[in-house]
Amino acid sequence: MSHRIKVIIPIPVDAAGVAARQAQLPDGLLPPDYEVVFEAVKAGAALGDSFHDALLMDVSVVEAALTAEKEGYSAVCIDTMSDSGINALRSCLNIPVVAPGASSFYMAANLGKKFGIVTMWDEWFPLYDKTLTEYRMWDRLACMRSIKTRPDLSELLAGKEEVVFNKLLEESQKAITEDGADTIILGSTTMHQSHAFLAERLPVPVVNPGQVTFKTCQMMLELGLTHSKKAYPAPEKPNFEVYHQIVKGG
């Protein structure tokens, strides 16, 4: 059965930025009858580096995906480890809404006993604090480490491989040898270009959050599963237009 999946990029980026995100989905990862559409939010956050940006991502991601079910999509994937807007979207939609934070944490918990999150800069740590708390996964965390490098959310890691990849490798090795991590999670879907490099050089599994999200989404669709409406009840008086007004005003 064919499926259409809408992927929401939580930062407003141009066509080149969208293409860079699309590159995390290689040919053959999903069945050929799956159509995956990447769409950036219309307005909102710049870097996800603060509670200010976190709120903007929640609102703009929800606004971008509210019409997905009416548009005929089978599922929504949120392209950020912050899982921005997931709870509100599950309240508003009946189709599966899947995100990298939950998908990666649960996958890592299935692969080992303690995972380390290796990311670009410390400013993203609060995003993981939020999801680790919500999913009650702190006891499975070995560490959070960063390479203290400001991310480029348009070009991602292109052109920076020689420096950035080795920094990520060094911090991942420290997570394993010093912190006891037996699994490494990349701290952002924007870091997907480093996955093969790290996976070839590290002695533990390396979780690529975007790809794990897409495969989780596929599994849910093929098993006929979606989120529980008891856990995520629909609003009695929905007011979706407010989301659109806020984003259009931006």
pLDDT value of residue 56: 96
pLDDT value of residue 163: 79
Read off the pTM: 0.94
Low-confidence stretches of the chain (pLDDT < 70) are: 154-156, 159-160, 250
Which residues, other chains included, contact 132 with Cβ-Cβ below 8 Å and sequence gap of 6+? 105, 138, 141
What the chain holds in terms of domains, given with CATH numbers, is 3-99+211-249 (3.40.50.12500), 101-209 (3.40.50.12500)
pLDDT value of residue 85: 98
The alpha carbon of 37 is separated from its chain's Cα centroid by a whole number of angstroms, namely 15
